[in-house]
Protein backbone atom coordinates (compact mmCIF):
# COMPACT_ATOMS: atom_id res chain seq x y z
CA UNK A 1 0.00 0.00 0.00
CA UNK A 2 1.44 3.34 -0.96
CA UNK A 3 0.34 6.70 0.32
CA UNK A 4 0.41 9.74 -1.91
CA UNK A 5 1.55 12.90 -0.18
CA UNK A 6 0.73 16.38 -1.30
CA UNK A 7 3.76 18.59 -1.98
CA UNK A 8 3.01 20.49 1.22
CA UNK A 9 2.90 17.29 3.30
CA UNK A 10 6.17 16.12 1.75
CA UNK A 11 7.85 19.44 2.62
CA UNK A 12 6.57 19.25 6.20
CA UNK A 13 7.91 15.71 6.59
CA UNK A 14 11.21 16.80 5.05
CA UNK A 15 11.48 19.68 7.51
CA UNK A 16 10.76 17.37 10.44
CA UNK A 17 13.46 14.95 9.28
CA UNK A 18 15.99 17.78 8.91
CA UNK A 19 15.07 19.10 12.37
CA UNK A 20 15.63 15.69 13.97
CA UNK A 21 18.96 15.29 12.20
CA UNK A 22 20.05 18.77 13.28
CA UNK A 23 19.14 17.95 16.88
CA UNK A 24 21.23 14.77 16.82
CA UNK A 25 24.13 16.62 15.22
CA UNK A 26 23.94 19.26 17.95
CA UNK A 27 23.99 16.55 20.65
CA UNK A 28 27.00 14.91 19.02
CA UNK A 29 28.82 18.23 18.64
CA UNK A 30 28.15 19.01 22.31
CA UNK A 31 29.57 15.64 23.34
CA UNK A 32 32.74 16.24 21.28
CA UNK A 33 33.07 19.76 22.68
CA UNK A 34 32.73 18.55 26.27
CA UNK A 35 35.34 15.89 25.57
CA UNK A 36 37.71 18.48 24.08
CA UNK A 37 37.32 20.62 27.19
CA UNK A 38 37.97 17.67 29.50
CA UNK A 39 41.02 16.61 27.49
CA UNK A 40 42.35 20.18 27.46
CA UNK A 41 42.17 20.18 31.26
CA UNK A 42 44.52 17.16 31.17
CA UNK A 43 46.89 18.84 28.66
CA UNK A 44 46.05 16.28 25.97
CA UNK A 45 46.38 18.65 23.02
CA UNK A 46 46.28 16.20 20.09
CA UNK A 47 43.25 14.38 21.44
CA UNK A 48 41.48 17.65 22.29
CA UNK A 49 42.19 18.99 18.78
CA UNK A 50 40.64 15.86 17.27
CA UNK A 51 37.51 16.24 19.40
CA UNK A 52 37.31 19.94 18.47
CA UNK A 53 37.64 19.13 14.77
CA UNK A 54 34.74 16.68 15.05
CA UNK A 55 32.59 19.18 16.98
CA UNK A 56 33.30 21.92 14.43
CA UNK A 57 32.40 19.63 11.52
CA UNK A 58 29.00 18.88 13.06
CA UNK A 59 28.11 22.34 14.35
CA UNK A 60 30.53 25.14 13.47
CA UNK A 61 28.43 27.67 15.41
CA UNK A 62 28.32 25.67 18.67
CA UNK A 63 28.19 27.83 21.79
CA UNK A 64 31.52 27.68 23.58
CA UNK A 65 33.45 26.35 20.59
CA UNK A 66 35.74 29.38 20.34
CA UNK A 67 36.44 29.31 24.10
CA UNK A 68 37.51 25.68 24.00
CA UNK A 69 39.54 26.32 20.82
CA UNK A 70 41.45 29.09 22.60
CA UNK A 71 42.09 26.84 25.59
CA UNK A 72 43.36 24.01 23.38
CA UNK A 73 45.52 26.31 21.26
CA UNK A 74 47.41 27.42 24.37
CA UNK A 75 48.24 23.88 25.51
CA UNK A 76 51.77 22.53 25.57
CA UNK A 77 50.40 19.07 24.87
CA UNK A 78 53.07 17.20 26.76
CA UNK A 79 50.77 14.74 28.53
CA UNK A 80 49.90 11.27 27.30
CA UNK A 81 46.42 9.79 27.75
CA UNK A 82 45.95 7.72 30.89
CA UNK A 83 43.37 4.98 31.41
CA UNK A 84 40.75 7.46 32.62
CA UNK A 85 41.21 9.66 29.53
CA UNK A 86 40.97 6.66 27.22
CA UNK A 87 37.80 5.53 28.99
CA UNK A 88 36.34 9.05 28.62
CA UNK A 89 37.21 9.08 24.90
CA UNK A 90 35.59 5.67 24.45
CA UNK A 91 32.45 6.80 26.26
CA UNK A 92 32.12 9.84 24.01
CA UNK A 93 32.74 7.80 20.87
CA UNK A 94 29.92 5.43 21.88
CA UNK A 95 27.60 8.34 22.74
CA UNK A 96 28.23 9.98 19.36
CA UNK A 97 27.89 6.63 17.56
CA UNK A 98 24.42 6.29 19.08
CA UNK A 99 23.56 9.79 17.84
CA UNK A 100 24.59 8.73 14.32
CA UNK A 101 22.42 5.62 14.65
CA UNK A 102 19.48 7.83 15.61
CA UNK A 103 20.20 9.99 12.54
CA UNK A 104 20.13 6.86 10.39
CA UNK A 105 16.87 5.76 12.00
CA UNK A 106 15.29 9.09 11.02
CA UNK A 107 16.41 8.45 7.43
CA UNK A 108 15.48 4.75 7.41
CA UNK A 109 12.61 5.24 4.96
CA UNK A 110 14.89 7.33 2.74
CA UNK A 111 17.63 4.74 2.32
CA UNK A 112 18.61 6.21 -1.04
CA UNK A 113 19.73 9.31 0.90
CA UNK A 114 23.52 8.98 1.21
CA UNK A 115 23.31 10.26 4.77
CA UNK A 116 21.56 7.02 5.80
CA UNK A 117 24.48 4.72 5.00
CA UNK A 118 26.98 7.44 5.91
CA UNK A 119 25.50 7.73 9.40
CA UNK A 120 25.66 3.97 9.91
CA UNK A 121 29.27 3.82 8.67
CA UNK A 122 30.28 6.68 10.94
CA UNK A 123 28.66 4.95 13.92
CA UNK A 124 30.62 1.81 13.09
CA UNK A 125 33.88 3.75 12.73
CA UNK A 126 33.40 5.47 16.07
CA UNK A 127 32.41 2.40 18.02
CA UNK A 128 32.59 -0.93 16.18
CA UNK A 129 30.03 -3.38 17.50
CA UNK A 130 28.74 -6.66 16.14
CA UNK A 131 25.18 -5.30 15.56
CA UNK A 132 26.55 -2.34 13.60
CA UNK A 133 28.72 -4.65 11.52
CA UNK A 134 25.75 -6.93 10.88
CA UNK A 135 23.49 -4.05 9.81
CA UNK A 136 26.03 -2.73 7.30
CA UNK A 137 26.85 -6.24 6.09
CA UNK A 138 23.18 -6.91 5.37
CA UNK A 139 22.87 -3.60 3.53
CA UNK A 140 25.93 -4.38 1.44
CA UNK A 141 24.48 -7.78 0.50
CA UNK A 142 21.33 -6.11 -0.84
CA UNK A 143 23.08 -3.36 -2.79
CA UNK A 144 26.58 -1.91 -3.06
CA UNK A 145 27.35 0.84 -0.57
CA UNK A 146 29.26 3.87 -1.71
CA UNK A 147 30.43 5.92 1.23
CA UNK A 148 33.41 8.07 1.98
CA UNK A 149 35.45 7.29 5.03
CA UNK A 150 37.58 9.74 6.92
CA UNK A 151 41.11 9.67 5.56
CA UNK A 152 40.14 8.05 2.25
What pLDDT, in 10s, does the model give residues 61-77?
Answer: 999 999 999 999 999 88
- The residues, ordered by sequence, that sit 6+ positions from 122 with a Cβ below 8 Å of its Cβ are 97, 100
User: If we measure between CA atoms, which residue out of 136, 143, 124, 44 comes closest to residue 89?
Assistant: 44
Beta carbons of 77 and 43 less than 8 angstroms apart: yes
- Average pLDDT, rounded, for the chain: 89
Q: In a 3-state reduction of DSSP, which class is residue 27? A: helix
Beta carbons of 32 and 49 less than 8 angstroms apart: no
Count other C-beta atoms under 10 Å from residue 147's C-beta: 14
What would the pLDDT profile of 34-65 be if each residue is shown by its tens digit? 999 999 999 999 999 999 999 999 999 999 99
Task: Please tell me the pTM assigned to this model.
Answer: 0.86
The rounded percent of the chain whose pLDDT value lies above 90 is 66
Amino acid sequence: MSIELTPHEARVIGCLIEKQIAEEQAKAAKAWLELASDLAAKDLKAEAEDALKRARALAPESPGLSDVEAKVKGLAGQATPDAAAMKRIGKTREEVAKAYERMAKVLEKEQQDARYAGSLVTALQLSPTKPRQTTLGQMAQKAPLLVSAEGH
